[in-house]
Structures are given as structure tokens and as C-alpha cells.
Amino acid sequence: MLIDRSLRGLAVLMRIPLVSLVPLLAQAAAEPQLRGIAEMRDGERIEGYIHFERDAMIVKAINGGAEKKVPAVQLKSAHMHLAGALSQRVPGLRGTYCSTMEFGGTLIERIDPQINFDWKGDAPMPGIPADRFSIRWEGDVETLNAGTYTFHVRSDDGARLFLDNRLLMDNWRPQAARSNSVSIELEAGRRYPIRLDYFDGAVLANVSLSWTPPGGVKQLIGADRFSQTFGSENPLKETNGLQGSYFHGINLQGPAVVRVDRNIDFPWTGRALAPGFGVHKYSVRWEAELEAPVTGKITFHTITNDGVRLWIGGQKRIDEWRGMTATEHRAQMELVAGKRYPFKMEYFQDEGTAEVRMFWSGPGLPRQVIPAEKFFVRGGVRLLSRTGAGLLLKGGSFLSGAISQVDEKAVKLDYLNGGILRIPRQNIGGLQLSPMSPARVVELAKWKPGCALRGGDYLEASLISYDQGTLQMKSSLFGKRDFSPGKVAFVKLGDFKRGKANFELHTRSGSRLRADWLMMDGKRALVKDNSFCWINLNPGDVVAVYGILPVQIDKGG
């Protein structure tokens, strides 16, 4: 099972004194600080240095001035990075998964230990369609001995392989599963930049990357040969695209999953728009600066199912916030070439089909989807996705990771960088073994302990053992029963619900931690969640913190 690995240095601790279970990221000699953008519920935005003390955030603006203390109830969001920390080389390749065949649409990143996938007719991950998607893997590959290396790519459909910034193999076309090979002379013990591009057109999807080293045999290239540099991404850096804030429910309320989208062109019917979301009842807010391509009257076209609102230059241009079938709405505005205008678009989907697209047209400008190169965003965060595996704590926190062992006292999670977490069972509500929608998790909260099968059935039972994906459950109805890996989606151990909290922390790997109490600065991040589980994070793992209003709790479960 593949695990996103940008959550590093994570240790779950139940009692003081604290003892870290895995090493922290390397830090620079300079004192590391959390730097980012904080947005308050009254609309105020402050760029500066951030830290948290219990139930409040303290921010000091970059341009000087006194520190400002912001209670959790007044904080909307804080996106941050760890300034002053050194980058670290970690195993695996960074995979960028895209919802179109041209590396556009929704972009979701994760760390893959090797490239060996056979998705058949399934989607590669939640938020990416089963057909017509693309992936780019990037990093370094370290050679063994000097000599001739033969690289083998098997794919359905197209693939391109780059090594040392040179195109070695180009099979960028629709095709049934086919293997291609190319040989090259390489030096011993050297890291070479490597990139593999892949797209899937329709029906089946698979791709793998192997090599035959000098004097060796054909084999998959393992995570110990791949590596990449992991650093703290700066949310203040400008990039092309829009900041998309994704909300559960149709009213743009509650904590959001935040990422950078290249443009607004999404045929979401029947698809989960992001990890952890279902196919209905969600809302999205996109924000950016928009650069005018020409001078003159530009027509903006939205096609949505359901509601849409559009602001350009601070003025509302379209307001159709209602349920509807796919409908086009237009607005015109005089623009000046090269000038940037504030852009905001809101969308909600209730039931039925789902579609949202944004076009423009004008003098000398044919109608087209507004390209990413004309959108600019600062403060946006492109989160790494999670595989869907992890632990749901009784207070509502989710820890992303590979569940390897369960005993009477604790559950062990393995991370690909060698970290091991042992979480006491008394704090755990369930073992999530595959991606699930929030609605399904809420439904499972109402059931007695048992297991949800991948096919949809639920069996009331108690967990006897779990080892490397194989479960044994015991029920008064069927006695003991074994389940092979992949058959069970969720195991409920005890009651859980998203209870009261002051903050929700998001990590690059997809963990979501609900904190009653938070102490975080450039050197530490100590969280006490609702199940009274103490969690010791590396602050560089945290990309966003959201304040939670007192009413944002589950009523049942």
C-alpha cells in the first residue's frame, strides 16, 4: 500500500514527559520560524510570523508592529511554512496526479515509493477520474555500479521517460499495454534527475518502471534508489493558478481542504472532487488575481450545475446561487491588457450531475477556458493527498499512515521514511483501510463495533487480530472469520465523533488533527486532541490551521 510521506517526525504520546519516536527534519543553524498568511473571520489578512499558544494564534506582521493575539473563534485560517529549515532528501518520487490528459485540471501530489501500478478500470486516487488523466513523477535515481543501464517502461496508454534532463523514450500515444526499453551508460553512485510522464485515455490503466543494472537482472526500481528533496514550501511565493477552498456541504462553511487549481474546468459528475469528498453536496471558492490578455470588453462565461457567483475587480458580476441544470451565464467587463484584477468565484453542487467551467472571449480572443498562466495566487497550498489509510481517533482526528499491526494495547502505523507510530487503542475509534466519504464515516459512527466491507456490507464483530492487511474478526453470528487484504474498508473499534475543538490542523500527507490545545512555533508542534491523545508534530509538516467555531461539532455518532 502506498503512503504519502511528507508527514515526518510524527509521534503520538499519551503521557508527559514526552519522548519523540522519530527524528525531526534537519534544521538550519538560524532559528526556524513559522511564516505565513493569517486570515481572520472579519476579513483582515496579515502576512507575518506565526505561533500558537493553547487556544490562540499570535502573529507579528512582516512589516513590523506589535504582536496580535487572535482567539481561535476569530481565526479563519493560517497557511504557513517553516522558514529557516534546511531541505531534506527523502526516498521515493513526487507524483503529480492530474484530472486531464494534458497535466491540467485538478492537481494532487503525493510521494510514491516506486512506479508499479495496475489500476485496471479504477481511478488512481479520489479526486482523479478513472479515465483521461495524467501523472508526472519527478525526483532523482541513484545508480549502483558504472556501466550500461536498461530502463523498461510498460504502460497503457502513453509514457515519456527523461533522464539527466534528456528525453530517452517517447511513446506519447494511445496504446494497449506495451513494454519499451532504452539503454544508457551511467556512472557509479551518482544521482541522476529522472522524470516519467504518463497518461491514460480510456478503459484500462497501468504503468511500471523497471531497470536492468550492469550485470544484473530486470527488476522494479525501488524506493531506496529513488529520492527527492523535501523542503518547506513557501505559501507567500506567487504561482500560477487559483486557490481553491473545498467545503463539505453547500454553504461554504466549516474547515476547508485548500489546494491550487490550474483553472476552472471540471466535469465532476459521479466523481469525488478531492480526497475525502463524496460526489454530492459540496461547495468551492476559488480566489486569485486575473491578468487581462487584451484591452477591451471581455465576456466571462460560466457553465455550472448548480449555483455560481462571480466577482471580478471587487464587483459581483454573476449571482445565480440556486439549483439548476447545466446553464451558461455571462458577464462583460472592460479590461486593460496586462493589468491584474481580483478574481473570486463560488460554486455549489447539491444533487444530480456536477459541472463547473470558466471561459472568456473578447476582441481577438476566441472563446477558451481561462488558462492557468493568467491566474496568479499567493498563499495557496497544494496539499499532498493521502491514500485513505489511517486511524480515526475518538475525538475526530485522522492520522494518515499504513496500519501494519494491532495488538490489545496499541496500533502501529508505518511511514515510508522509517517512522513508526504506536497509538494506544483507548484513543482509537476506527481503522480506515481505504478512502471513504465523510458521509459514510458519519454513518459508520452510528453502528456497533464491526467492519465495513469494500462491497458495502457491514458486519457487527470484534477485532481479534490485524497483521499486514489480514484481519480476523469474531461475531456471535459467524464465529471467527478471516479477511484477506483489500476486502475490508473500515474497522470500527469504538465510538467516535467530531467533538468540540479550537483548531483543525492539516498536514501535507492528508492528516486532519482536531486540537483542543495547541502549542506550536518554529521548533515544536504539540497537539492535544479531543480523545486526550497527545500528538507531537514537526511544525514543518503543518501547512494550514483553521479556527473552529463552537457550533462546528457533530450532533450524533
Give the model confidence (pLDDT) of 175-224 as tens digits. Answer: 999 999 999 999 999 999 999 999 999 889 999 999 999 999 999 998 88
Task: Please name the amino acid found at residue 67.
Answer: E
Does pLDDT of 414 surpass 70? no
Does pLDDT of 554 surpass 70? no
Q: Chain-wide mean pLDDT for the chain? A: 82
The pLDDT of 365-380, averaged and rounded, is: 83
Summarised one tens digit per residue, pLDDT across range 137-150 is 999 999 999 999 99
Q: What pLDDT shows up at residue 380? A: 43
Residue 365 pLDDT class (50, 70, 90 cuts): very high
Q: Rounded to an integer, what distance in angstroms lies between the CA atom of residue 54 and that of residue 502?
A: 9
Q: For residue 468, what are the domain limits?
A: 401-492
Q: What pLDDT shows up at residue 135? A: 93
Q: What pLDDT shows up at residue 227? A: 86
Stated pTM of the model: 0.56
The residue behind cell 507575518 is 48
Burial of 16 per CB tally in 10 Å (0-12, 13-18, 19+)? exposed
Residue 317 pLDDT class (50, 70, 90 cuts): very high
Closest CA to 522 of 32, 28, 59: 32
The pLDDT of 455-484, averaged and rounded, is: 87
**Which residues lie across from 47 on neighbouring strands?**
37
Residue 30 pLDDT class (50, 70, 90 cuts): low
Residue 405 pLDDT class (50, 70, 90 cuts): confident
Question: Is residue 272 situated within a structural domain?
Answer: yes
Q: Rounded to an integer, what distance in angstroms lies between the CA atom of residue 514 and that of residue 530?
A: 7
Which of 492, 512, 528 is the last residue in one of the domains?
Answer: 492
Q: What pLDDT shows up at residue 276? A: 64
The pLDDT of 371-384, averaged and rounded, is: 67
Q: What pLDDT shows up at residue 59? A: 94
The pLDDT of 281-300, averaged and rounded, is: 93
Cα distance from N-terminal residue to C-terminal residue, the chain: 29
Which of 204, 230, 256 is the last residue in one of the domains?
Answer: 230
- Listed in sequence order, the residues at least 6 apart from 392 whose beta carbon sits closer than 8 Å to its beta carbon are 398, 428, 429, 430, 431, 432, 441, 496
Please give the full DSSP string across 502-552, using - where no structure is assigned: SEEEEETTS-EEEEEEEEESSS-EEEEETTS-EEEE-GGGEEEEEE--TT-
Question: Is residue 384 situated within a structural domain?
Answer: no
Residue 385 pLDDT class (50, 70, 90 cuts): very low
User: Are 129 and 248 contained in the same domain?
Assistant: no
The pLDDT of 285-311, averaged and rounded, is: 94
Residue 346 pLDDT class (50, 70, 90 cuts): very high
The residue behind cell 526516498 is 91
Question: Is residue 62 situated within a structural domain?
Answer: yes
User: Are 207 and 119 contained in the same domain?
Assistant: yes
Number of Cβ within 10 Å of residue 121's Cβ equals: 10
Handedness of CA 51, 40, 277, 261 (dihedral sign): negative
Handedness of CA 117, 122, 126, 129 (dihedral sign): positive
Q: Are 156 and 177 in contact (CB under 8 A)?
A: yes
Tell me the HSE value of 519 on the side-chain side, using a 13 A CA sphere. 7
Selection from 4-13, 106-115, 116-125 with the highest mean pLDDT: 116-125
Q: Are 382 and 483 in contact (CB under 8 A)?
A: no
Q: What pLDDT shows up at residue 498? A: 75
Residue 113 pLDDT class (50, 70, 90 cuts): confident
Of residues 126 and 286, more confidently modeled:
286
Q: What pLDDT shows up at residue 91? A: 78
- In 396-532, which ranges are E strands? 398-400, 402-406, 410-414, 420-424, 428-432, 450-453, 458-460, 462-467, 470-475, 479-483, 488-492, 503-507, 512-520, 525-529
User: Are 163 and 95 contained in the same domain?
Assistant: yes
Selection from 24-38, 232-246, 340-354 with the highest mean pLDDT: 340-354
Q: What pLDDT shows up at residue 356? A: 95
User: Are 420 and 467 contained in the same domain?
Assistant: yes
Residue 230 pLDDT class (50, 70, 90 cuts): low
CATH code of 243's domain: 3.90.182.10
The residue behind cell 459512527 is 445
Q: What pLDDT shows up at residue 28? A: 36
Q: Rounded to an integer, what distance in angstroms lies between the CA atom of residue 62 and that of residue 46?
A: 8
Q: What pLDDT shows up at residue 74? A: 94
Summarised one tens digit per residue, pLDDT across range 495-547 is 988 778 999 988 766 678 899 999 999 888 899 887 788 888 778 778 889 99
Residue 325 pLDDT class (50, 70, 90 cuts): very high
Q: Rounded to an integer, what distance in angstroms lies between the CA atom of residue 124 and that of residue 110?
A: 12
Q: What pLDDT shows up at residue 556? A: 42
Q: What pLDDT shows up at residue 128? A: 81
The pLDDT of 154-159, averaged and rounded, is: 95
- In 314-354, which ranges are E strands? 315-320, 327-335, 340-349
User: Are 431 and 520 contained in the same domain?
Assistant: no
User: Are 480 and 506 contained in the same domain?
Assistant: no
Residue 122 pLDDT class (50, 70, 90 cuts): confident
Does pLDDT of 47 surpass 70? yes
Q: Rounded to an integer, what distance in angstroms lies between the CA atom of residue 467 and that of residue 459?
A: 19
Total domains present in the chain: 4
The pLDDT of 278-302, averaged and rounded, is: 92
User: Are 174 and 102 contained in the same domain?
Assistant: yes
Cα–Cα–Cα angle for 332, 335, 337, rounded to 5 degrees: 140
Question: Is residue 129 situated within a structural domain?
Answer: yes
Closest CA to 57 of 538, 536, 518: 518
User: Are 301 and 358 contained in the same domain?
Assistant: yes
Of residues 98 and 106, more confidently modeled:
98
User: Are 28 and 105 contained in the same domain?
Assistant: no
Does pLDDT of 77 surpass 90? no
User: Are 298 and 325 contained in the same domain?
Assistant: yes
Does pLDDT of 5 surpass 60? no
Which of 201, 230, 259 is the last residue in one of the domains?
Answer: 230
Of residues 513 and 26, more confidently modeled:
513
Selection from 80-84, 131-135, 150-154, 223-227 with the highest mean pLDDT: 150-154
Q: Rounded to an integer, what distance in angstroms lies between the CA atom of residue 398 and that of residue 333?
A: 45
Q: What pLDDT shows up at residue 259? A: 75
User: Are 186 and 274 contained in the same domain?
Assistant: no
Q: Are 234 and 81 in contact (CB under 8 A)?
A: yes
Selection from 62-76, 342-356, 476-490, 530-544 with the highest mean pLDDT: 342-356
User: Are 94 and 72 contained in the same domain?
Assistant: no
Of residues 64 and 33, more confidently modeled:
33
